[in-house]
Structure 1
């Protein structure tokens, strides 16, 4: 019997160190061993439905850490987009409110109706501005001379529209009327506007004699243009003379001051 027991005990394999370390009882619950550098180390057992985690995932906080980071990044981007969209809508509503206050009507309307009303109002304003510019001449900074035919009437009279823009001076209007009288032209209408020392005169004149052909009409326009050009040149010469006199007077005052100082 002793031999049988002894032989049975000798045939039993003694457990190695690896077998001892691999025992599940030597690790905590929810872990399983793995070999790293010749040494068994425990790893967490993944939950149901999840893949087996790697050593890198374990060191980074688990298999879901990268997924959570992407979700947080997407959520932040969505919030930023929502905030930008909210600010954009606020700006649009502010502009629409400003446009509504500019309109003469105070009726409640939707955005499409409001924009259509604004477009109509702007067109009306442009039309009125064109009518004002056409009806009331505004002086410009450059000297201008324009003479053109303005049609005729049933009595055979031909009308000429003449426009002169230059610096204002006391005898300018007198010179213009005298130029028309020398050409035997009668003034039908006159519009005069002045701004910042500049003046624009627009005359509608007609010949006291009947003009029978286009050649005579063209000749009359040329004559009016030459006469008004002389008035315009005289105005420029007068301005130059006044400027020269001003410089001369200033020079005399300087010389007088120097002589008194010496």
Structure 2
């Protein structure tokens, strides 16, 4: 009897189903997968970054002479020095070109005047292009402007250059026309402007031996221009 009970207990114990293995959490599995993916993306980005850096360094080595044996720090320092040198040369060249483009006043004293007439929509006007090269001095520009006003001329453009005590002025002027002989008016205007500018630019000539005849001729020209142009 006792042996049968023991045998029944052993059989019951042996026939029990095996215990199931613990289940793995699905959330922890997803986290592990995302981490692996993130590490892979980061690794790829780092690889591409290093490739770009190496490509840039290779380009710099081709641009800098004797750079094949330089380390990165020496190569970058050499590039910085090259850029500074190029910038300095560019600035110097720009300054030289600007100085060459600027007009230099000529040594000779000179006054040139050219006039032309134009008619637009019934309005007639005389345009005067005048240049003056002379010694620079205080009140020179104001004197030239006063001469233009005295002849009824309006300045459209003016360019002035001064260097070493010399001055060069270029003017584009305009005067409204009225009915009359355009050819005669242009000739009179050219002569009047030339005389007026010369008197301002070369005052020592006006004060010389021929100053009396110079001033008299100037007054006659201005009077005739005043009548024709109704200044």
Q: Same fold (TM over 0.5)?
A: no
Which protein, 1 or 2, shows the higher relative CO under an 8 Å CA cutoff with sep ≥ 6?
2
